[in-house]
Amino acid sequence: MAGQTSVNKTNTGNFFEDFRLGQILRHATPRTVSAGDAALYTALYGPRFAVSSSDALAKSLGYEHAPLDDLLVFHIVFGKTVPDISLNAVANLGYAGGRFLAPVYPGDTLSAVSEVIGLKETSSGKTGVVYVRSTGYKADGTEVLDYVRWVMVRKRDEASPAPEPVIPELPDAIEPDALGDAVPLLDISAWDGELAGSPHRFDDYQVGEKIDHVDGMTVEESDHMLATRLYQNTAKVHFNQFTEGKGRFGRRLIYGGHVISLARALSFNGLAPAFHVAGINGGRHVAPLFAGGTVFAWSQVLDKAAIAGRDDIGALRIRTVATVDRPCADFPDKDADGRYDPAVILDLDTWQLLPR
């Protein structure tokens, strides 16, 4: 028992030099999702969208069961990509082109694969931006989610040569006709506004309309760590106070996806009929969130669209802005120079589906 050390068995993550254009990464640890995950997701955020909450209601509309919350699916797929993509990330820069492609039910097993679709060294020479398209699958191969994200990743060695820069063309927004694959054709006559929490439907929302979601939710350290572990997301900055206490912020950083889920749950107050997040057009974590902060949110309808072949549902393009310790009755936003109000932490652009 000589005490030989094995550093090669631990995952130190990929550095910028380790990524190659076109590279395919099959991520570890497939995950069977269950009613247990759905219950925890409810406990973590308190969502009340009726379709994901009630089997009876979901079946009456045409689903097999209540589908899992879209963002729970997103976080689980995202979590799988972390050990391979962003363990050495300095920053998660953005999302684009996200689509939910099939309903996910308790019992489904999710796995994830990513393809490197862009690489660009930053001017400092110390980091580079990696663009990946990540896809979530069920065990039978059904695609459930597909999205692009780009992250700034440290170089292992600053002297490494820069790769040929390739920046993928990303859509400004998902085409409406590409939405809705995760929603079976619904018997929308079964839609019940009282049970859904709002008398409003697709036609009641107007482009330009702003909605203050009113309520605030304070985040505790325990909450965000439970959530992030539930997603098997291993990014160190969320969990390790010993190390983070000595770091840039002196505190654990909250997983950005936690903010997205909080904002979505808060948005029920004003957007109760928006039962499904069908697409993620773009998103930016404007500032970090720390435990003790209270998250508020407001939304604006950016666009409306019918979906070809679907007279049951329509799509609203919705921009959601989340803040910390700042109610949103006056819709805090960017100023004339494009600088965000200092309370803003999230700027998210999604397509959401509503009954017609």
53 is a contact residue toward a copy of itself (CB under 8 A): yes
Q: Which is nearer to a copy of itself, 128 or 320 (CB)?
A: 320
Stretches 36-44, 91-99, 157-165, 173-181: which one binds a copy of itself (CB under 8 A)? 36-44
| Residue 347 interacting with a copy of itself (CB under 8 A) | no
Residues in region 149-188 near a copy of itself by CB under 8 A: none
Among 20, 43, 187, 250, binds a copy of itself (CB under 8 A): 43
The secondary structure element, H or E, covering residue 261 is: helix 256-266
DSSP state for residue 165 in the 8-state scheme: P
Rounded to the nearest whole angstrom, what is the least distance from the CB of residue 219 to a copy of itself in the complex?
A: 9
What does the block give as tokens for 54?
Answer: 């009630």
Angle at 276 between CA 291 and CA 112, to 5 degrees: 70
31 counts as binding a copy of itself under rule CB under 8 A:
yes
Question: What are the tokens at 72?
Answer: 């729970």
d(C-alpha 61, C-alpha 186), whole Å: 5
CA distances from 229 to 41, 57, 151, 180, 294 (A): 12, 30, 21, 29, 21
Using CB under 8 A as the binding rule, whether residue 226 contacts a copy of itself is answered as: yes
Stretch that binds a copy of itself, among 122-130, 175-183, 216-224, 280-288 (CB under 8 A): 216-224
317 binds a copy of itself (CB under 8 A): no
Which one of residues 156, 236, 284, 356 is an interface residue with a copy of itself (CB under 8 A)? 236
Q: Minimum distance from CB of 270 to a copy of itself (Å)? A: 4
**248 is a site residue for a copy of itself (CB under 8 A):** no
* Contact between 22 and a copy of itself per CB under 8 A: no
Hey, which residues between 56 and 85 contact a copy of itself (CB under 8 A)?
Answer: 56-57, 66, 83
Structure tokens at 77: 């797929």
Rounded to 10 deg, the angle between the 70-85 and 256-266 helix axes is 170
Contact 27, 114 (CB under 8 A): yes
Residue 165 is encoded by which pair of tokens? 């820069």
Task: Tell me if 247 contacts a copy of itself by CB under 8 A.
Answer: no
Contact at 8 Å (CB) between 355 and 333? Answer: no
Instruction: Between 35 and 306, name the residue whose CB sits nearer to a copy of itself.
Output: 35
Figure out which of the listed residues 294, 340, 341, 356 binds a copy of itself, where binding follows CB under 8 A. 294
Closest contact distance (angstroms) between CB of 169 and a copy of itself is 25
196-215 residues near a copy of itself, rule: CB under 8 A? 196-198, 200, 204-215
Cα separation, 99 vs 96, in Å, equals: 9
Restricting to residues 259-288, name those near a copy of itself by CB under 8 A.
269-272
- Nearest CA-CA partner of 268 in 113, 99, 71: 71
- Check binding of 218 to a copy of itself (CB under 8 A): yes
Would you count residue 142 as binding a copy of itself (CB under 8 A)?
A: no
Beta bridge partners of 153: 89, 128
- Which residues have CB under 8 Å from 152's CB, separation 6+? 89, 90, 91, 93, 122, 127, 128, 129
Q: Which residues contact 246 (CB under 8 A, 6 or more apart)?
A: none
Pick out residues in 82-111 that bind a copy of itself (CB under 8 A).
Answer: 83, 106-107, 109, 111
